[in-house]
Chains A and B, each alone.
Chain A
Amino acid sequence: MNKNYLSTSSEWTFETIAAYDREIARIARDKFRLDTYPNQIEIIRSDQMMDAYASIGMPVFYNHWSYGKHFVNVEQNYSRGRMGLAYEIVINSNPCIAYLMEENTLTMQALVIAHACYGHNSFFKGNYLFRNWTDAEAIVDYLLFAKNYIAECEERYGVQAVELLLDSCHALMNYGVDRYKRPVPISAAKEALRQQEREQYIQQHINDLWRTLPPRLHVDEQREIPKFPVESQENILYFIEKNAPLLEGWQREIVRIVRKVAQYFYPQRQTQVMNEGWATFWHYTILNELYDEGLVNEGFMMEFLTSHTNVVMQPDFDSRYYSGINPYALGFAMMKDIRRICQEPTDEDKRWFPDIAGSDWITTLDQVMRNYRDESFILQFMSPKIMREFHFFALQDDDRRNVIDVTAIHNDEGYRLLRETLSQQYNLSSQEPDIQVESVNIRGDRSLTLYHHMHNRRPLSNDCYEMLRHVHRLWGYDVHLHSVETDGRRVRSYHLQEGRE
């Protein structure tokens, strides 16, 4: 085989980065049929990386103290050597922006380009959640709009007022997403144009809802007052934006901004294992391909493999390094396993995965990437082999019993249960408490009632009083929260009324 190394030094230059990018792009596109947004690779210093960390990776973001807190924490840990910075940050936008640190060696830059610019990038472009729920074209513009809008509000209404509002919105961020309804794509230009219009409209709408002198009061009294909202609302922030009686136009707009940002990040939270697994699988596959083509030497591969191995390490549950399942490890193992099932299926694979065993692996992986999220991905594709490799076991911790049961281990009998339990572990709607807007007392004290629909009798943590205070700040009137069992029984109630708890 011809040896035609792209480089033999570990120092990167712009020319060598471009050379690697050219080769990686060629392999990704022609050999593996990865479809990507155009790439924009930005080289930054480590302190800029810390800045990027602090603003959840986005190139522009509005100001808030919590990002400062995040920043000082990262700064402290990094400068004390307690934590390394990520080699890259990649943003789901079009063009796809990837930050590379200048400290990286050339090998690491190549790894990162393969990982972020072709792995993550193709995932952003292909996966159905990202396609349906985020708008890669508009996000950077929208964030710019958000930043300017919030800065303007700070000038007009004071930093303090905006900060309090953002605190409350951030607390409810996970309850600001539509889980089933597809949002309208956001566009910064339209956003700015329509914002005022919306402000006025909403204000009128709400005034109508809260009309203090209903014209036909005597007739209404006879009738059953309809429940409001008619159906429970899972998107609490949306409900507040549209219906909270006391919020002013700019406040509603800020609630909306936080909601949009939450919605934008929602797919990432649902596809962590897949996204990282996909990107890791492709950097591994592409760099190996580079080696097979004789474009990189053994030294390059050694350095790459060392780093790769660290990334996909999975400590055991009893190790002091254990902090849950490593999404890189699980995702990478599963992607690689799917390729194996396609190429060299065993009898076991043929039994469990008849549709994909022996199929074209590139097409199959592409389909998997496009149509699944973590929960369904694991439920569908975690093979018995993976289960055995990881030595998975399932525990059931029930507070009515004083022992913890081992319900399944990595054997044939345990497979189905393990697969299901593990998949549930990645189901955001069962991991987060299910809290919805139940009703508003529209003819009385205007109090808001939230229902916590309990799952497996799991109660809320003590944070929830603090949380009620945030809901109260947004709603403006009393807030009630009831934990409700599946049979409708109220198990526990939390109240927060003006002036007392």
Chain B
Amino acid sequence: MAYVVDRRLNSKNKSLVNRQRFLKRYHEQIREAVSDAVSRRNITDMQRGDSITIPKRDISEPVFRHGQGGQRDIVHPGNKEFVQGDRIQRPPAGGGGGSGSGEASDSGEGEDDFVFQISQAEFLEYLFEDLALPNMVKRQLAGSDAFETHRAGFSEVGNPNQINIVRTMRSAQARRIALSGKARRRRREVLAELAEENDEEESKLNEAERLALEEELSRLNFRLNTVPFLDDFDLKYNLHIRVPKPSPKAVMFCVMDVSGSMTQDIKETAKRFFFLLYLFLQKNYEQIEVVFIRHHTQAQEVDEETFFYSRETGGTVVSSALSLMSDIIHERYSPDEWNIYGAQASDGDNWQEDNQRCHKALVDGILPHVQYFTYIEIGDRDPQGLWHLYQHLERDYADRFAIQRVRDNSEIYPVFRELFKKTMVID
């Protein structure tokens, strides 16, 4: 008779350790696959988990086995037209694997890729591994309305549902011992004396003494009975306090040139960059707002759809966007409360006379307030005026200003890594 056991409630993930070890061992390959995926994928499904593909030969476990060659005798099922003595042309090398039959599929399989799934969290983990947001100085938020409840010892007052029974009983016992210990001891003595008296044939005590003892006994009993088991001031309550929780908030400004020279391709590249930054911030901050500012000769704040897909023509005045950003920071995102990140993408065009104003807008209105400001120039033309200007700024504000050039989609991820690679904070 079998013994049937229900194991369905047993813990799952018995293989978790082994899986982690596998991932760790093929860390490099997985990271490569992730980085490939980023340049290939659509932006909308960038943050999905992914199937990771590793060439099978990289992870095969070797054993001693026979190679091609020599003489092999094999039996197969399903003969149809062969008769003894038939000769079959050997299939061309490679495809058939030499055996000219079903075995081929076995040996052919060796070159397949090993594919498996990683979760979204793991994907992001690999994606942003070794990257850090510079200057992640968390500002404690005054007037923040998020609270966390912490235990903070015990209190004499509180709600009945917060009574700490152990503490309460302990203090009740201490009180009872303190108040009745002496009386209890005396009562034991009196009882012993009386018992002794009753046992003896001949009374040792006279009647008056005996009455006095009995008198004392009843007094002691009365006294002991008045000590309550539990008194009001025995009650102890768990104390919880609410501490304001710093809820790190970040705002990300996406600034993009939409003048005639920005083609859809360049915008697509910029979008990838913005999106990566968004994901990265999301990993570090709980709450993120995004502000889209587009500009040609004038700047305006728009929604995401308009930002990426509507077309405009005209010249380019970058300072308009920078001033707008500075104004928005001033109005809505007080640097005391918000961690501010700026990302600007452009093909590098700017109206020559505007560079000076850009410089001023950045230095006065933006750089003092932001955590980090990045600029990417897309395209393979020679650096334009804006680039030279920003190069100066990068030297002066090395801790919070970084610029990079990008030619196409495939370079976005490496450049992104370059911008955010973990460095020591420079004061």
Report if A42-B2 is in contact (Cβ < 8 Å); known contacts: A314-B77, A409-B79: no
Bitwise, A134-148 to B at CB < 8 A (1) or not (0) is: 000000000000000
Residues of chain B with a CB closer than 8 A to A47's CB: 12-13
Bitwise, A308-330 to B at CB < 8 A (1) or not (0) is: 00000011111100111100000
Residues of chain A with a CB closer than 8 A to B106's CB: 323-324
Residues of chain A with a CB closer than 8 A to B59's CB: 69
A408-B84 in contact (CB<8A): yes
Residues of chain B with a CB closer than 8 A to A432's CB: 64-65
**A497 in contact (CB, < 8 A):** no
For chain B residues 165-206, which have a beta carbon within 8 Å of chain A?
none
Q: How far is the CB of A99 from chain B (nearest CB, A)?
A: 8
Residues of chain A with a CB closer than 8 A to B90's CB: 397, 402-404
Number of A-B contacts (CB under 8 A): 278
Q: How far is the CB of A73 from chain B (nearest CB, A)?
A: 6
Residues of chain A with a CB closer than 8 A to B71's CB: 396-400, 456-458
Q: Which of B33-41, B97-105, B288-296 touches A?
A: B97-105
Residues of chain B with a CB closer than 8 A to A323's CB: 102, 105-106
Q: Which residue of A lies closest to B109 (CB)?
A: A323
B15-A55 in contact (CB<8A): yes
> Whole-angstrom distance between the alpha carbons of A67 and B14 in the complex?
11
**A44 in contact (CB, < 8 A):** yes
> Whole-angstrom distance between the alpha carbons of A396 and B13 in the complex?
47
Q: Which residue of A lies closest to B54 (CB)?
A: A69
> Whole-angstrom distance between the alpha carbons of A171 and B98 in the complex?
26
Residues of chain B with a CB closer than 8 A to A398's CB: 70-72
**A65 in contact (CB, < 8 A):** yes
For chain A residues 375-401, which have a beta carbon within 8 Å of chain B?
390-400
For chain A residues 41-60, which have a beta carbon within 8 Å of chain B?
41-45, 47-48, 50-51, 54-55
Residues of chain A with a CB closer than 8 A to B87's CB: 403-406
**B392 in contact (CB, < 8 A):** no
Residues of chain A with a CB closer than 8 A to B395's CB: none
**B284 in contact (CB, < 8 A):** no
Q: Pick the residue among B3, B51, B88, B102 that contacts A38 (CB under 8 A).
A: B3
> Whole-angstrom distance between the alpha carbons of A163 and B100 in the complex?
39
B85-A21 in contact (CB<8A): no
For chain A residues 177-235, which have a beta carbon within 8 Å of chain B?
none
A404-B88 in contact (CB<8A): yes
Q: Which residue of B lies closest to A329 (CB)?
A: B77
Q: Which of B110-118, B220-228, B249-257, B375-383 touches A?
A: B110-118
Task: Give chain A's interface secondary structure class.
Answer: mixed
**B311 in contact (CB, < 8 A):** no
Q: How far is the CB of B135 from chain A (nearest CB, A)?
A: 36
Report if A40-B68 is in contact (Cβ < 8 Å); known contacts: A390-B77, A403-B88, A406-B83: no
Q: Pick the residue among B15, B72, B74, B78 that contacts A391 (CB under 8 A).
A: B78
**B160 in contact (CB, < 8 A):** no
A318-B78 in contact (CB<8A): yes
> Whole-angstrom distance between the alpha carbons of A403 and B96 in the complex?
13
Q: Pick the residue among B2, B8, B70 that contacts A459 (CB under 8 A).
A: B70
For chain A residues 347-361, which have a beta carbon within 8 Å of chain B?
none
For chain A residues 406-463, which have a beta carbon within 8 Å of chain B?
406-411, 413-414, 418, 421-422, 424-425, 432-433, 435, 452, 454-463
> Whole-angstrom distance between the alpha carbons of A392 and B51 in the complex?
41
Q: Which of A244-252, A364-372, A464-472 touches B?
A: A464-472
Q: How far is the CB of B393 from chain A (nearest CB, A)?
A: 46
> Whole-angstrom distance between the alpha carbons of A395 and B2 in the complex?
47
Report if A325-B78 is in contact (Cβ < 8 Å); known contacts: A406-B87, A406-B88, A433-B64: no
Report if A461-B67 is in contact (Cβ < 8 Å); known contacts: A14-B4, A392-B79: yes
For chain B residues 4-49, which have a beta carbon within 8 Å of chain A?
4-8, 10, 12-15, 17-25
Q: Pick the residue among B1, B8, B22, B76 that contacts A44 (CB under 8 A).
A: B8
Q: How far is the CB of B81 from chain A (nearest CB, A)?
A: 10
Q: How far is the CB of B420 from chain A (nearest CB, A)?
A: 29
Q: How far is the CB of A76 from chain B (nearest CB, A)?
A: 5
Q: How far is the CB of A470 from chain B (nearest CB, A)?
A: 7
Q: How far is the CB of B78 from chain A (nearest CB, A)?
A: 3
B70-A72 in contact (CB<8A): no
B18-A325 in contact (CB<8A): no
Residues of chain A with a CB closer than 8 A to B12's CB: 45, 47-48, 51
Q: How far is the CB of B2 from chain A (nearest CB, A)?
A: 4
Residues of chain A with a CB closer than 8 A to B5's CB: 40-43
Q: Pick the residue among A54, A67, A399, A408 that contacts B68 (CB under 8 A).
A: A399
A470-B116 in contact (CB<8A): no
Report if A405-B64 is in contact (Cβ < 8 Å); known contacts: A392-B76, A396-B71: no
> Whole-angstrom distance between the alpha carbons of A398 and B25 in the complex?
40
> Whole-angstrom distance between the alpha carbons of A406 and B70 in the complex?
17
Residues of chain B with a CB closer than 8 A to A454's CB: 70
A44-B7 in contact (CB<8A): yes
Q: Which residue of B lies closest to A424 (CB)?
A: B73
B70-A391 in contact (CB<8A): no
> Whole-angstrom distance between the alpha carbons of A318 and B87 in the complex?
17
B70-A457 in contact (CB<8A): yes
Report if A48-B14 is in contact (Cβ < 8 Å); known contacts: A68-B19, A316-B78, A421-B73: yes
A75-B117 in contact (CB<8A): yes
Residues of chain B with a CB closer than 8 A to A396's CB: 71-73
Q: How far is the CB of B59 from chain A (nearest CB, A)?
A: 6
A435-B64 in contact (CB<8A): yes
> Whole-angstrom distance between the alpha carbons of A456 and B85 in the complex?
20
Q: How far is the CB of A36 from chain B (nearest CB, A)?
A: 10
A397-B22 in contact (CB<8A): no
**B69 in contact (CB, < 8 A):** yes
Q: Could you show 21 A-B contacts with beta carbons less than 8 Å apart?
A: A48-B10, A48-B14, A68-B21, A68-B22, A71-B18, A73-B114, A76-B115, A95-B3, A113-B2, A317-B76, A317-B102, A318-B78, A319-B78, A392-B76, A397-B100, A403-B90, A409-B82, A454-B70, A456-B70, A458-B66, A463-B62
- Given A65-B24, A319-B78, A393-B79; 17 other pairs, CB 8 A cutoff: A14-B6, A18-B2, A22-B1, A39-B3, A41-B3, A45-B8, A48-B14, A68-B15, A76-B51, A163-B25, A175-B64, A317-B79, A318-B102, A393-B75, A396-B73, A458-B70, A461-B65
